């Protein structure tokens, strides 16, 4: 995020009390009819939906220094998703009416936010396409690649995760069963495409993993 834009947003939100949120806590649910807006100062947040059979579908992961929910805050569109703390969070909460007034007082912000909204929509379409067309194993691979953009680093060509993930968590994020996830991970490990030890994953060749999605 542009420094001037970030400074403007933080100046607004920092005038409200800070809250500490534990991992696994829901900031927002579809049942919240008139939610506040949230600025995620530190930590990562997962946005997801649930199918009729209870399967969770991860839509997006938010890095620190963002506000949510964007569609509700700017477009007055009711929130239909869950927002869950993937890690411990530090957040600031502002009433939607205050945020709307802040935006109207700083109209240049709308022009800054528009590309971000379009980018989020593009990612949503991509994720939806994956869920429709991918096999269960491809969903697991796509989830590993997706998470690596947020929770991994490059170590001499090998992508090493910096956050631990259980098979159950990966299954939840991929939208498949734990058993299917474990089988897919074991197969990928036997083929030397990935490694994992003590819940830390490594991606040994991302080019091959991407090719398995074609």
User: Please, what is the average pLDDT of the chain?
Assistant: 90
Distance (Å, whole) CA 38 – CA 17: 11
- When pLDDT is averaged across residues 46-50 and rounded to a whole number, the result is 91
Q: What is the sign of the dihedral through the CA atoms of 166, 168, 173 and 176?
A: positive
Per-residue pLDDT reduced to its tens digit, 119-171: 777 877 777 777 778 999 999 999 999 999 999 999 988 999 999 999 999 99
Instruction: Considering only the C-alpha atoms of the chain, give the largest distance between any 2 of them, rounded to a whole number of Å.
Output: 58
- When pLDDT is averaged across residues 107-119 and rounded to a whole number, the result is 76
pLDDT reading at 1 higher than 70: no
Structure tokens at 191: 């083929």
pTM: 0.84
Specify the DSSP element, H or E, that contains 213. Answer: none
Alpha carbon distances (Å) from 119 to 28, 115, 212: 22, 6, 25
Structure tokens at 148: 């690596």
Residue located via tokens 């194993």: 137
Question: 117 near 57, Cβ under 8 Å?
Answer: no
- Taking the mean position of all CA atoms in its chain, how far away is CA 163? 14
Q: Domains in the chain, start-ordered, CATH in brackets? A: 3-132 (2.60.120.10), 136-211 (1.10.10.10)
pLDDT reading at 5 higher than 90: no
Strands across the sheet containing 152-155: 152-155, 158-161, 200-203, 194-197
Q: Which of 37-41, 77-81, 116-120, 134-138 comes out lowest in average pLDDT?
A: 116-120
Of 135, 193, 138, 140, nearest to 168 by C-alpha is 140
């Amino acid at each position: 995020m542009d420094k001037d834009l970030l400074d403007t947003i933080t100046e607004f939100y920092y005038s409200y009390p800070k809250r500490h949120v534990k991992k696994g806590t829901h900031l927002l649910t579809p049942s919240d009819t008139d939610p506040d807006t949230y600025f995620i100062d530190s930590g990562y947040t997962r946005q997801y939906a649930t199918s009729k059979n209870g399967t969770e579908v991860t839509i997006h992961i938010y890095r620190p220094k963002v506000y949510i929910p964007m569609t509700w805050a700017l477009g007055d569109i009711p929130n239909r998703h869950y927002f869950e703390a993937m890690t411990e969070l530090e957040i600031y909460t502002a009433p939607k009416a205050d945020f709307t007034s802040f935006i109207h007082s700083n109209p240049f912000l709308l022009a800054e936010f528009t590309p971000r909204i379009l980018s989020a929509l593009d990612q949503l379409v991509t994720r939806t396409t994956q869920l429709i067309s991918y096999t269960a194993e491809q969903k697991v691979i796509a989830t590993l690649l997706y998470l690596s953009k947020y929770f991994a680093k490059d170590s001499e060509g090998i992508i090493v995760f910096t956050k631990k993930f259980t098979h159950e968590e990966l299954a939840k994020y991929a939208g498949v069963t734990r058993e299917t996830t474990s089988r897919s991970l074991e197969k990928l490990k036997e083929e030397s495409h990935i490694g994992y030890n003590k819940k830390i994953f490594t991606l040994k060749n991302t080019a091959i993993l991407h090719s398995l999605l074609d």
